[in-house]
Amino acid sequence: MEITVAGGGIMAQTADTYVVEVFADGRLASEAAALDAAMGGAITQLIQDGFLTGRPGEINVLPAGRRLKAKRVAVVGAGKRDGVTIDSARTRAGNLSRRLRDMNAGRVAIALQETSTALDQTDAGRAVAEGLTLGLYRFDRHHTREQDKPRYAIAHITLVETSTRRANAVQRGVTEGVILGEQTNFARDLANEPSNLMTPTIVAARAQQMAAELGIECTIIERAEAERLKMGSYLSVANGSAQPPKFIVLQYRGAGNGRPIALVGKGITFDTGGISLKPAENMDAMKGDMSGAASVIAAIGALARLEARVNVIAIAPCTENMPGGTATKPGDVVYAMDGTSIEVLNTDAEGRLVLADGIAYAKSKGATVILDVATLTGAMGVALGGVRTGIFCNDDRTMTQVERAAEAAGEKVWRMPLDPEYDDQIKSDVADIKNTGGRPAGSITAAKFIERFVGDTPWAHFDIAGVMSKASDNGVWVKGMSGNPVRTLIHFALGRARG
């Protein structure tokens, strides 16, 4: 789907479907009023008859008649005029995009006038383009039978402004919004793909391909090199798998030679639990256990496309977690890159094991701040459900920046505690630390484990186990893997670039 921008008003556009917004106050802006006049007062008639109230989600589709360069006009409710925010505009665009697709809207021209007046043109362009790009996402590549495939697609949407000056401002926003949307969809693609088609080798190939296209550095650390680097914690997770592990490192230098922001993503391409095997029911969901890796790969790609003036390193330790004959067994002791000894009491607590070496590696690269993203604990979904990501952060300034970035992205977060008392739960009798702290506060003890490898570096840990997928379509979210928190990561880095 392509999004373009045009000035000169909606009636200058040739399209299949025009879209125009009406607020709940029933006042028609000049674009809607002009369409109304060209259709002989059809819109005002609908308002008089009570069919058009302007509430969000309402759509009236009218035949355009002979005087317009379109076949249909969709009059869309926009809600309260003073209730328009970037987030509400993005959400409405997401919902609208699927309504348009369902009605086979064809080539679409959307009059942006109302939203771009309520916000500003660049914000409106960004929000709407992001909402449309995210809302139209679907993962359908493995349907081979025609009748199972989606019926309609939207090939082209034009956002129309009333003047060239306004259109130029919209275009700046659209360019950014499309990048944020497309990179999130890239993460969704990686995470939705089943594990047989998204092995660590394939994740690495996709990262390399993206890096080549965007001119950023990509290094794949193979098993032998990881052994030389003493990444015994990460490698212990790969022991039971026939698939070779791949430790992916991407580097984007948009600000010369300074130290980078590190984004570390958990990349378990399938989590069986290992010898501490998971129950069969819903185990398929664990094909998404590399959502953290997908997020950091997608986010650094966005920063490169945006030419952000910031240095970023994305680190994605990827492996399967399998119960093979050579698998790590409960009670085994392994050594992380930084020398910490770990008693592996439960092989299903593997995410923190790969993150330990991911974070140690980030520190060895001089990271100024570390954000890690992981589908880490089922307990996180119990605590916050599918709405908010739990953030564990050792630095108030970083936390404020994460909150601002999440707010800008429309991805909700909630700070979780890291009190020293929780450390008692991960004390080991035989090693420096053990990889489970029992049932109480399961997400917190997982974060406490990771914190041991972070040291003094400012750090925020995103436990996305609860928000990694959606059960239904709503706004910018679509059923399947969510791509959360790709856009928060991007906004965080953009915020640091601005200083």
Shorter beta-carbon distance to ligand BES: residue 100 or 383: 383
Q: According to the 3-state scheme, what is the secondary structure of 362-425?
A: HHHCCCCEEEEEECCCHHHHHHHCCCCEEEEECCHHHHHHHHHHHHHHCCCEEEECCCHHHHHH
Shorter beta-carbon distance to Zn ion: residue 161 or 289: 289
Shorter beta-carbon distance to Mn ion: residue 21 or 271: 271
Work out what residue 357 binds among ligand BES, Mn ion, Zn ion, none; the CB cut-off runs from 5 to 8 Å by kind: none
Give the x/- contact pattern for ligand BES in 453-492, rule: CB under 6 A: ------------x--x------------------------
Task: Examine residue 351 and tell whether it contacts Zn ion (CB under 5 A).
Answer: yes
For 96-135, give one letter per residue: b (16+ CB within 10 A) or e: bbbbbbeeebbbbbbbbbbbbebbebbbbbbbbbbbbbbb
Give the x/- contact pattern for Zn ion in 279-308, rule: CB under 5 A: ----------x-------------------
Complete DSSP assignment for 79-97 = --GGG--HHHHHHHHHHHH
Q: Are the C-beta atoms of residues 317 and 262 closer than 8 Å to each other?
A: no
| In the complex, minimum distance from the CB of residue 395 to Zn ion, in angstroms, rounded to a whole number | 26
How many alpha carbons fall within 13 Å on the CB side of residue 398? Answer: 21
Active site annotation includes 352: yes
The single residue among 88, 183, 185, 377 that binds ligand BES, judged by CB under 6 A, is 377
Shorter beta-carbon distance to Zn ion: residue 268 or 302: 268
Shorter beta-carbon distance to ligand BES: residue 95 or 377: 377
Rounded CA-CA distance 369/459 in Å is: 6
| In the complex, minimum distance from the CB of residue 425 to ligand BES, in angstroms, rounded to a whole number | 11
Choose the binding region for ligand BES from 96-104, 250-258, 373-381, 481-489 (rule: CB under 6 A): 373-381
| In the complex, minimum distance from the CB of residue 344 to ligand BES, in angstroms, rounded to a whole number | 11
Task: Examine residue 348 and tell whether it contacts Mn ion (CB under 5 A).
Answer: yes
Rounded CA-CA distance 167/4 in Å is: 10
Shorter beta-carbon distance to ligand BES: residue 324 or 378: 378
The single residue among 189, 271, 372, 451 that binds ligand BES, judged by CB under 6 A, is 271
Nearest to 174 by CA among 261, 83, 112: 112
Rounded CA-CA distance 222/279 in Å is: 31
Rounded CA-CA distance 467/443 in Å is: 14
Choose the binding region for ligand BES from 14-22, 78-86, 228-236, 372-380 (rule: CB under 6 A): 372-380
Rounded CA-CA distance 5/251 in Å is: 33
The single residue among 56, 79, 254, 378 that binds ligand BES, judged by CB under 6 A, is 378
Rounded CA-CA distance 187/292 in Å is: 9
Of 172, 278, 404, 412, which residue is the catalytic one? Answer: 278
Rounded CA-CA distance 87/19 in Å is: 20
Task: Examine residue 271 and tell whether it contacts Zn ion (CB under 5 A).
Answer: yes
Of 126, 246, 352, 363, which residue is the catalytic one? Answer: 352
Rounded CA-CA distance 484/464 in Å is: 8
The single residue among 289, 357, 411, 451 that binds ligand BES, judged by CB under 6 A, is 289
Residues forming contacts to ligand BES in the complex (CB under 6 A) are 271, 285, 289, 346, 348-351, 375-379, 436, 442, 465, 468
Active site residues: 278, 352
Residues forming contacts to Mn ion in the complex (CB under 5 A) are 271, 348, 350
